[in-house]
Amino acid sequence: MTTIEAAVFRGAGQPIDVRSVELAPPGRHEVEVAIAAAGVCHSDLHMVRGDWEHRTPVVLGHEGSGVVTAVGDAVTSVEVGDHVVLSWVPSCGECRYCKAGRVAQCKTSQQVIAAGGTLFDGTPRISVDGVDCFHYLGVSSYAERAVVPETGAIKVRSDAPLDAIAIVGCAVATGVGAVRSTAQVPAGATVAVIGCGGVGLSCVQGARMAGASRIVAVDLVPAKLDIAAQLGATEIVDGRSGDVVQQLAALVPEGLDFVFDAIGAIATTEQAIAALGIGGAAVVVGLPPAGQSASFDPLSLAESEQRILGSNYGSCVPHRDIPDLVDRFMTGELDLESMISARRPLSEASAALDDLASGSVLRQLLVPNPGLL
Ligand SMILES: [Zn+2]
Ligand SMILES: [Zn+2]
């Protein structure tokens, strides 16, 4: 057992407790990682607000990077000292979705890791005062160290700065993947992105890398629209200036080929569908609270041969896509720094989530081990 500092969440309405917890050594197929940086994401906020059910207590954080500090007997893909980016869908390799290459849909990962809050053997490695403490999506990166499944620790090149690449594991893989893998946006397509947080800005960058002819960024915060323009948006729509669908129609009267809803609110999903042109596809990337319904006009959908696509984790294949995204960052094709608005100590986890909720910040990084950077 190692004693580490971690951000423990006990239930909606209760303060996040940054405190000492016990971490057991990695099992045979598991890896221990010293966390260099952890991104603060809306999925953590959904947990804290009680939008999604989860077993508690739980250590938050599902995006991160770090250095491998220990490996289990059966681990072959990484060794001590390797730099890794953490993936929140560690795959089992055996279920029908893994075998079909759709590893972001791994059934075992959904049932055991996501729903159970444990690692693949059905038990957690974290405890608080002798009581089991659960993992969040097999990552729990708001901590000095984490024990994760081997398939959740993706080896990346060691010359990439460890802090910036933390966001590749969730926001960037999700946003770029939604464009490249889920929607397969071709060169010349017209694209709109609703919501310019970490995922939306990654959709903008994915659309630029795909060679989209027009990229319209939509948000309510002017500073986020400015960054979207820096990252490749060709036009911007300020949602406070009037109806978003009408503003998009004024810019692209024939309707858009692809609209990405990077918010996942009912209103934005409905806007994404309503703004499509003939043959267009609306892609739901942002995750809404559980149990909601959106509406659309099915006659228009049929007549105009439109599609509604769901994208989970950007349909990514972490071992293929995460090292590739890190390479694109190192060549300058992908801009990560412009998406990061703050680096904060682990003790500020709660304040960072409050700032994310206010809508005024982009990606914030928690830095549990400043010495690793
Ligand atoms: Zn996330
Ligand atoms: Zn699987």
Rounded to an integer, what is the distance from CA 269 to the centroid of its chain? 18
Check residue 186 and give its pLDDT. Answer: 98
Query: What does the angle CA 90 – CA 96 – CA 100 come to, to the nearest 5 degrees?
Result: 85
Which ligand sits nearest to residue 149's alpha carbon? Answer: 2
Q: Which of 29, 42, 54, 62 is catalytic?
A: 62
pLDDT score at 247: 98
Q: From the CA of 113, how far away is ligand 2's center (Å)?
A: 11
What tokens appear for 188 in the block?
């010349």
Q: Distance, CA 110 to ligand 1 centroid (Å)?
A: 15
Q: Is 337 helix (H, G, I), strand (E, B) or coil?
A: helix
Q: Which distant-in-sequence residues (6+ apart) come within 8 Å of 204 by Cβ?
A: 175, 193, 196, 215, 217, 228, 231, 232, 233
Cα of 115 vs centre of ligand 2, distance in Å, is 14
Query: Which segments in the chain show pLDDT lower than 50?
Result: none
Predicted pLDDT of residue 359: 85
**Model's pTM, two decimal places?**
0.94
| All domains in the chain, ordered by first residue | 2-169+335-372 (3.90.180.10), 172-312 (3.40.50.720)
pLDDT at 309: 98
State the first-to-last Cα distance of the chain, in angstroms, to the nearest integer.
25
Please write the tens of the pLDDT for every residue from 274-327: 999 999 999 999 988 788 999 999 999 999 999 999 999 999 999 999 999 999
CA of 159 to the centre of ligand 2 (A): 31
Annotation marks residue 170 as catalytic: yes
> 29, 42, 43, 203: which is the annotated catalytic residue?
43
Distance 62 CA to ligand 1 centre (A): 6
Place of tokens 């038990």: 123
For 27-82, write each residue's pLDDT tens digit: 999 999 999 999 999 889 989 998 888 999 999 999 999 999 999 999 999 999 99
Return the pLDDT at 51.
86
pLDDT at 259: 98
Residues 6+ apart with CB under 8 A from 253: none
Q: Would residue 62 show up in a list of annotated catalytic residues for this protein? A: yes
Q: What is the pLDDT of residue 290?
A: 83
Q: What's the 108 CA to ligand 2 centre distance in angstroms?
A: 5
**Is 43 labeled as catalytic in the residue annotation?**
yes
